[in-house]
A and B are shown apart, each in its own frame.
Chain A
Amino acid sequence: MASVCFYFQVHQPFRLGHYTIFDSHNNYFDDSRNAQICRKVAEKCYLPSNLLFLDLIKKYHGRFKISYSITGVLLEQLQLYAPRVLETFQELADTGCVEFLGETYHHSLSFLYSHEEFIRQIKAHTRTIQKLFGQRPRIFRNTELIYNNNLAELIEKLGTFDGIITEGADHILGYRSPNFVYRPVNSKRLKLLLKNYRLSDDIAFRFSNRSWSQWPLKADKFASWVNAINGCGFVVNLFMDYETFGEHQWESTGIFDFMRHLPHEILKHPDNDFKTPSEAINSYDAVDEIDIPYTISWADIERDISAWRGNPMQENALAELYGFEKKVMKTHDPEIIAHWRKLQTSDHFYYMCTKYFSDGDVHKYFNPYESPYDSYINFMNVLDNLNYRCSQSLSQRNRKASARSCKKAILNQKQNNEYSDLLCVPGMS
């Protein structure tokens, strides 16, 4: 039995506009550029892919299944710039063959810096998914599949998830295969699904590479590789960015045709099927424990977090950003808090990565900056202004507070429920 389990990551950040130390406005985000990119990706990838998968689900009468993890920041942008895409995601949800995973609303690295914020963002995301798609996420995927034992522990404590998705990195699996269900070390309830990065990358990265020995990749050939797993594994986890379809691999490479024919080729083999992540972990027992004391991710060849925390600029930007948490929260200013959260999206730190930069191999995908240094400077200028706004807001609050003499009690009454006014995608409340 080989179950093919597709999970697609759907995300676009709110990119920052150019911001110098001499600026003092608070329109940090480049709305026109973000709108333009969102519409472009919607047209080339999201919409055609969603329509294709809707077709396939209908055609195979519930035998073709997929899953998505869609970030809150993308959902907001779809609402604003490409509502048709959101509708088709909702249609997909209605088929019953599509599972929606949970993650941090802001596609953030908060797990590494602030567990309180991390959990707030997961809850915010869960509420949004429930509201939009009518299902409560049961499987968790952390930003960029960042994972370690500690994450599993936290997620288990939350009690709302049954499993976690992460990278099937060689250095953690050793001789073991990613094609089984595993269990985090010391965990009682949770199960782990590990990315089969070879087969995933054959689609996501190598598909159009003409110097690859397997080019051109056709659905029947790919299905034969999946068939080969029969007998030495239960589940083939194909995890990739949704932009693989039509963006990373252009339509002209034949990527949509490949996907159109894949279900037929996979289902030709009587022992094969498609499963959502929840179905996969419910169908198969965990075969072993996985112990990951060091943090892993699905990025670059290192499969670690050096893409976001690999140099002093990134460390500094992240430390300062999360260092503001208390101050930001104290303002109770929804706009300040929202801006602070949008700055947490991991892409901002990815743009600052200097690995491979001298070789000209920048993290290029819709990167608005000419260099990692420019991105750091821009980010820090924005952060500087945000800090200033916090200070202003707090001293205003203090002034108001002392104006009324018995104000302390009122301040104390305010609960840490700042998220409530934020979560709603505009127009959703």
Chain B
Amino acid sequence: MKTFMLGWEFPPFISGGLGTACYGLSKALDQLGVKITFVLPKANPAHHAEHLKMISAKDAVQSNGIKTSMFKDVKFYTIASPLRPYTSPDTYEQQVTNAALLKGKNAAGPSGQHSDFLNNADNYSGDLYTQVNRYAEKVAQIAVTEDFDIIHAHDWMTYPAGIAAAGISCKPLVVQVHATEFDRSGEHINQSIYDIERQGMHFASKVIAVSNFTKNIIVERYGIQPEKVEVVYNGVERDNNYCCTQSSLEKTDKIVLFLGRITMQKGPEYFLAAAKKVLEVIKNVKFIMAGNGDMMNRTIELAARLGIGSKVLFTGFLRGEDVRKAYQMADLYVMPSVSEPFGIAPLEALQSNVPVLISKQSGIAEVLANALKVDFWDIREMADKIVAVLRHPSLQQTLKKNGSSEVVKFRWEDSAAKIKKIYEQLLVSV
């Protein structure tokens, strides 16, 4: 069985769960003997002149800290494109402006500094939707030459490409929904993106949702028949480095950690409001907000306005070793998301032996038993639970112990097995 997978760049190059999920799933599908042609947009292909490149698994995962031997039968194509996970029309405009600025600078510079694809504003002609369609065209070109049984597209930017590939090959399309426009934007959705999502879901033979929480949105907001939507939960990579020693660091303050994009979807303002209430009861506690996002500045201002500026630390976007350090210091990880389709991060926190408090408006809350759960808007309850974890070592200990042993149950192997079954059922019915 061969799948034509339209995915995203692997960690640690991207932020957020999309790349992590693509990596975990591909690796596990590969192990199950599913052949994969993996196509992804890449801002900096090895040779920027070529817009389309077939690369070895080695190149695809090079320097990502991922061992190439992990892949048996995966073929990678990169397509030069400015598309990135979590790009929105606004952030895309920002990207274009930055590129234009850079180009001007480079032209003026004497050395004629190397300008890569991203810094070349020509590649940004047209808006985000133009880029999505351009990407679809290039994917279609690959689809003509490749041999596969099924197409599997991850999130809206790849849906038009999936539809194009399906049109050319007459093979069934599976779309996997890691997030919907309602998760990202609440009720103020971008109609064009919604339309693309809706079209992809309707065109697809099967829709995979990462949780029942997301399935409900797909059924209710996108008008998809419930029978057509399968729930496949994400897994989490075993990372031995993570479940390592407890920090020997002497701390005078307790530390509560927010780690994620600082965007409306992730609920940073609820985190701060809860922090304010916690500080009414406990003084020696610091709140760390690790991440970046379009609400960063507003969030910093809000912390100041609430009068807790000195208690809230912003670290910016963390990766690798720094993430590990953050977890080591933390007494509690909080995910106050307003709408979280799944939420791999709490599982990673538990792997690092940090207890978690998650919002009930998340997919992970459906399946993770050993976590504290609150409605994202219920500040009082959130603060109450944060205080309890900080005050009662026995609570922290029980959550850690039971949580970290529960995490072992979230295996990409199981997710992949379920997806393979979905493929098989589709191929039988074709």
Contacts and interface: CB of A to CB of B under 8 A. Distances in A.
A47 to B, nearest CB: 37
B53 interface: no
A312 B370 CA distance: 14
Nearest to A362: B369
Contact of B387 (A21, A358, A373): A21
Interface in A364-399: 370-371, 373-374, 376-377, 380-381
B392 A357 contact: no
A357 B380 contact: no
A380 B398 CA distance: 15
B370 A377 contact: no
A316 B392 contact: yes
A317 B391 CA distance: 13
A311 interface: yes
B402 A357 contact: yes
B281 interface: yes
A395 to B, nearest CB: 21
Contacts of B206: none
Contact of B281 (A21, A354, A358): A21
A370 B373 CA distance: 9
Nearest to A310: B398
Interface string B155-180: 00000000000000000000000000
A20 B381 contact: yes
Given A21-B388, A377-B384, A354 B370 contact: yes
B372 interface: yes
Contact of B383 (A22, A370, A371, A380): A22
Interface of A: 20-22, 311-313, 315-317, 354, 357-358, 360, 370-371, 373-374, 376-377, 380-381
B397 interface: yes
Nearest to A20: B384
A316 B398 CA distance: 11
Interface of B: 277, 280-281, 369-370, 372-373, 380-381, 383-385, 387-388, 391-395, 397-399, 402, 406, 409
Contacts of A360: 369
B399 A373 contact: yes
**Which label, helix, strand, loop or mixed, suits the secondary structure of the B interface?**
helix
Contacts of A316: 392-395
Contact of B385 (A313, A317, A357, A377): A377
Given A21-B281, A357-B370, A313 B398 contact: yes
A373 B395 contact: yes
Given A313-B398, A377-B385, A22 B277 contact: yes
B402 A358 contact: yes
A380 B369 contact: no
B373 A371 contact: yes
A29 to B, nearest CB: 19
A33 B409 CA distance: 36
Nearest to B388: A377
A377 B406 CA distance: 21
Nearest to B389: A377
Given A316-B393, A317-B394, 11 more contacts: A21-B384, A311-B398, A311-B402, A312-B395, A313-B395, A360-B369, A373-B370, A374-B372, A376-B395, A377-B395, A380-B388
A354 B398 contact: yes
B380 A20 contact: yes
B368 to A, nearest CB: 9
Contacts of B277: 22
Nearest to B385: A377
Contact of B406 (A313, A358, A380): A358
A381 B384 CA distance: 9
Contact of A381 (B388, B394, B402): B388
30 contacts: A20-B380, A20-B381, A21-B383, A22-B277, A22-B380, A22-B383, A311-B394, A312-B393, A312-B398, A313-B394, A315-B394, A316-B392, A316-B393, A316-B394, A354-B370, A357-B369, A357-B370, A358-B370, A358-B402, A371-B372, A371-B373, A373-B395, A373-B398, A374-B372, A376-B394, A376-B395, A377-B372, A377-B395, A380-B392, A380-B395
Contacts of A371: 369, 372-373
A316 B281 CA distance: 21
A377 B384 CA distance: 8
Given A22-B277, A312-B397, A315-B394, A373 B372 contact: yes
Contacts of A381: 384, 388
**9 closest Cβ pairs, A-B complex:** A316-B394, A312-B394, A20-B384, A377-B388, A358-B369, A312-B397, A311-B398, A313-B398, A21-B387
A312 B277 CA distance: 27
Contacts of B392: 313, 316, 376-377, 380
A374 B370 CA distance: 11
A358 B381 CA distance: 23
A377 to B, nearest CB: 4
A75 B318 CA distance: 59
Contacts of B388: 21, 376-377, 380-381
Contacts of A317: 394
Contacts of A376: 388, 392, 394-395, 398
Contacts of B384: 20-22, 377, 381
Given A21-B384, A22-B384, A376-B395, A354 B373 contact: no
Contacts of A358: 369-370, 402, 406, 409
